[in-house]
Structure 1
Amino acid sequence: MPRTATLERTTNETSVKATVNLDGTGASQITLNGAGFFTHMLDQLAKHSLIDITVEATGDIHIDDHHLVEDVGITLGQALNDALGDKRGIRRYASADLPMDETLSRAAIDVSGRPFLVWRVEFTAEKIGTFDTELVREFFQAFAMNAGITLHVESVYGANSHHIAESIFKAVARALRDALAVDPRVAGDLPTTKGAL
C-alpha cells in the first residue's frame, strides 16, 4: 500500500498544498512566493530523508515569512501523518548526529502519536539573508505537532547560522529516514506494547 498523502490548507494569510511519498527517492519540487532560504531547507529535508516532497505555497510575505513557514510546517506534518496510516512495521525511533563544517547538530525522533518538541538551539545571527533564524523553530514546532511525532533537536556547537540551520534540517531528515523505514522483521506489526500509536 503506497504511503503517500496530499494535504491543502488555505487561510486569509496563506495557501499551501503539500504532497509526500514516504517511500520515495528524495525528490523535491518546492514552489514558494519568496523565502529562498526556506526553499533550500525543504530541498535538504527531502533529499536526506528520501521522502518525495512537493509544496506549492503562497503567503503574506510582505509582512514577513512567519505565516508561510508555519503553515508549510502544519501542512507537511499533516501530510506525513496521513501517509503513515496506522504506522505498522515502522522502526519508530531514530536519531542522527549531523556535522557540517564547524557545526554539529543532533535530532532524535519518536513517531509516537504524542507530539512534542524539545529545542536546544542558539543561532549566532538573527537572519540568514532575509530569513529570520527564529523561524527554523517555528517550522519544526508546527511540523512535529501536526505529524504527531516527538522531536528533540540540539545544536551541539556551531558558529555559522547557515550551517546551524542546514545541519538541523539534515539531521531531522536523516532521523526521519530511519524512523519511518519499514523493518522487514516486524512488517505488519506495531512498534509498541500498547496496541496503538
Structure 2
Amino acid sequence: MRASFRRDTAETKVEVSIDLEGSGSSEVETGVRLLDEILRLLARGSGFDLRVRASGDLPTGDHHTVEDVAISFGQALAQVAVAGIGSSSVPSGEALAFAAVRFGATGYREEVDISRRSLEGMDLENLGHFMRTLAYNGGLTLHLRASGGDDWQKVEALATALGRALRRAVEDGCGDPGNK
C-alpha cells in the first residue's frame, strides 16, 4: 500500500511518499537535521519505506518546514491507513518512551518533558507541534510519553516508539501489510 502527497505553500514545498509494505528504508532531506533523524527513526521503527523532500524558509526558523512535513506525512498516511490500534514502549539510554495510536479518530496527548530549547537545528517546541499536526492530518489519535535520559534519548525513543506503534496499528487494521 503506497501513497504520496505534495504540499506547496508560500513558505515550503514538501513531497512525501510512503510504502507500508516496505523494509524501513528512508530518503529524507528537509534541511532540519533533527527532523530528518526523526523521520528516519520512524521509518526504521515502522518498517515503512519513507521518502521526504522539503525545502522552505529555514532562515526564518524551522516551524513552517516541520509543520508542513507533518501535514504532508499525515495526509499520505491517511490515504493508506484508516483503521487499527497499536502501541509500543521503547528505551533509549536512560529514557523510556511510549506511543499509542488509533486510526479513525483524531486526538493528541503528550507527557514529554524537554529541557533544551533546540537540538540539531530544530526548536524542540516544534517536536510536539510535529506530532500533533501528524495526528490530526493522519486521522489518528496519538498519545506520547517520555521520561528519563537526556533530550536526544527522549526524541530517539519517541520516534522509534511511534514508528513501532504505527506498524502495529496498520497490522491491526488491515492485516500484515507485508503479506498482501
Q: Determine if the TM-score, normalized by the shorter chain, exceeds 0.5.
A: yes
Aligned amino acid, residue 4 of structure 1: R
Question: Quick one: which of 135, 149, 152 aligns to 2:126?
Answer: 135
Consecutive unaligned residues in structure 2, runs of 5 or more: none
State the distance in 2 between where 1:130 and 1:176 align.
26
State the distance in 2 between where 1:74 and 1:183 align.
26
Q: Secondary structure at the match of 2:159?
A: helix
Contact between 1:49 and 1:173, CA under 8 Å: does it hold in 2? Answer: yes
| Displacement of 1:74 | 0.3
1:94 corresponds in structure 2 to: 86
Tell me how many residue pairs correspond in the alignment: 175
1:150 aligns with 2:168: no
Q: Secondary structure at the match of 1:114?
A: coil
State the distance in 2 between where 1:131 and 1:79 align.
23
> What TM-score comes out, normalization by structure 2 length?
0.93
Aligned amino acid, residue 63 of structure 2: H
State the distance in 2 between where 1:29 and 1:129 align.
18
State the distance in 1 between where 2:89 and 2:168 align.
13
- Tell me the alpha carbon deviations over residues 95-148 of structure 1, each in whole angstroms, 9 at most, x when there is no partner: 11110010001111111x221111111102111133211111111111100110
Q: Secondary structure at the match of 2:61?
A: coil
Consecutive unaligned residues in structure 1, runs of 5 or more: 185-197
> What TM-score comes out, normalization by structure 1 length?
0.85
| Displacement of 1:82 | 0.7
2:26 corresponds in structure 1 to: 28
Aligned amino acid, residue 179 of structure 1: A
| Displacement of 1:93 | 1.1
Give the structure with the larger helix fraction. 2
| Displacement of 1:7 | 0.6
1:175 corresponds in structure 2 to: 165
The runs of at least 4 consecutive aligned structure 1 residues that moved more than 6 Å come to: none
Q: Secondary structure at the match of 1:108?
A: strand
Pairwise CA RMSD: 1.5
Which aligned pairs between 1:8-157 and structure 2 lie closer than 5 A?
Answer: 8-32=6-30, 34-84=31-81, 87=82, 92-111=84-103, 113-155=104-146, 157=147
Q: Secondary structure at the match of 2:21?
A: coil
